[in-house]
Structure 1
Amino acid sequence: MSNQAVANRYAVALFQLAQSKGTLDQTGEELEVIQSVLQGTPELEKTIQHPKVTLVAKQNVIRNSFAGKVSQDVLNTLLLLLERQRFSIVPELSQAYKQLHHDLLNIAEATVYSAKPLTNEELKQVEIIFAPKAEKSRLIATNKVDTELIGGLRVRIGDRIYDGSIKGQLNRLERNLLAGNR
């Protein structure tokens, strides 16, 4: 079974547990904190993945690192992943949990590519305009600068791309001219 499939199973179980306890937001935030800690401290991940470190020592490292900072349910999930030698799926689990939460709230994430950085107000405007197009009640947009666009915007929501950039228009014009269309 792929790591993504395993992560999805753990995410669904943790999501259902958090939903029953009314801690959906808190659990999501805790998973994001854990993921950022793991990314920020590669030594921690090396220790956890090292084959010569015993399971008990690994569990103590996790307890010392996260006890009191995350809920008991999240801590138990981490310890279970350690025990089953699946700790490497924590980033996928966090992402799968986030997707489940967004699906429940009818939220989508978008990446907005622009030739220059957008202001917060411009980003909010994009969120308002594109939320109905994505058939979502809310859109969470992040801006990435791509100077090759020349001008305009390219918005990616899931697997959909809305390209209103000058580069995109020039590419479409070139294809039409090569195809003999006007």
Structure 2
Amino acid sequence: MSAYRVASRYAKSLLELAVERNELDQVNSDMTAVLSLSAANSSFSDMVKSPVISSEKKTEILKSLIGKNASALTLKFFDLVGEKGRTGFLPEMATAFLRLRNEHLGIQIAEVVSTIQLDDELRNSFKSIVKEISGKSKVNLIEKVDANLIGGFVLRVGDKQLDESIKSKLQQLRLDFTQNLYEKKY
């Protein structure tokens, strides 16, 4: 079974239990901690995917790293994942959980890359554009600054991208000039 399917199934179950027990915020912070550990430390990812380390040891390590402030539901989830031998999919499960949580709460994640730091007026403009594109009322805007764009912005909403940067316009112009559209008349 693919990693996406496994992660989605476990994440969906965890989300349903978290909503049922009113622990959605706590489980969300636990899954965010798992993702940040996975991104910041490659040895953590190697540990959860290692076939040499036993599932019990992996669960014990997970509980010691996350367990200080983790909810009881998250700790039980770690036990279940370890029991089933699925700890290698834990980072994917955390990603899937966060995606499903945002869908459940009606939050659209969008990323805007610009050459300057956004002020409140621009930020609100981008949020209204994202609301119009996605049809969702809540928007979480991730802002990044990239001076290589020269000017303009790149807005990503789900699998859609709006590229209004000077860099991409120059690249398109360069591509247009490489095509020889000149025809001899004689």
1:18 aligns with 2:18: yes
Letter in 2 for 1:81: V
TM-score normalised by structure 2 residue count = 0.80
Deviation string 1:85-138 (CA, Å, 9 cap, x unpaired) is: 221212211111111111122211111111233346533432233222221112
Q: Please give the alpha-carbon distance, in whole angstroms, between the structure 1 residues aligned to 2:17 and 2:60.
A: 24
Task: Tell me which residue corresponds to 1:155.
Answer: 155
Structure 1's unaligned 5+ residue stretches are none
Q: Please give the alpha-carbon distance, in whole angstroms, between the structure 2 residues aligned to 1:179 and 1:96.
A: 48
Compare CA radii of gyration and give the structure with the larger one. Answer: 2
Letter in 2 for 1:154: V
Count of matched residue positions in the alignment of Structure 1 and Structure 2: 180
Moved more, 29-38 or 148-157: 29-38
Task: Tell me which residue corresponds to 2:37.
Answer: 37
CA RMSD of aligned residues (A): 2.7
Task: Tell me which residue corresponds to 1:166.
Answer: 166
Deviation at 1:159, TM superposition (A): 0.8
1:9 aligns with 2:5: no
Deviation at 1:17, TM superposition (A): 0.6
67 and 144 in structure 1: CA distance in 2 versus 1, 3 angstrom threshold: closer
* Paired residues for 1:100-119 under 5 Å: 100-119=100-119
Does the aligned pair in 1 maintain the 2:56–2:82 contact within 8 Å?
A: no
Task: Tell me which residue corresponds to 1:79.
Answer: 79
47 and 170 in structure 1: CA distance in 2 versus 1, 3 angstrom threshold: closer
Does the aligned pair in 1 maintain the 2:134–2:157 contact within 8 Å?
A: yes
Task: Tell me which residue corresponds to 1:58.
Answer: 58
Does the aligned pair in 2 maintain the 1:62–1:79 contact within 8 Å?
A: no
Q: Please give the alpha-carbon distance, in whole angstroms, between the structure 2 residues aligned to 1:176 and 1:44.
A: 47
Identity of aligned residues (%): 28
Does the aligned pair in 1 maintain the 2:55–2:87 contact within 8 Å?
A: no
Letter in 1 for 2:64: N
The alignment partner of 1:156 has SS state of strand
Deviation at 1:41, TM superposition (A): 4.4
Letter in 2 for 1:10: Y
Deviation at 1:47, TM superposition (A): 4.5
Q: Please give the alpha-carbon distance, in whole angstroms, between the structure 2 residues aligned to 1:144 and 1:73.
A: 34
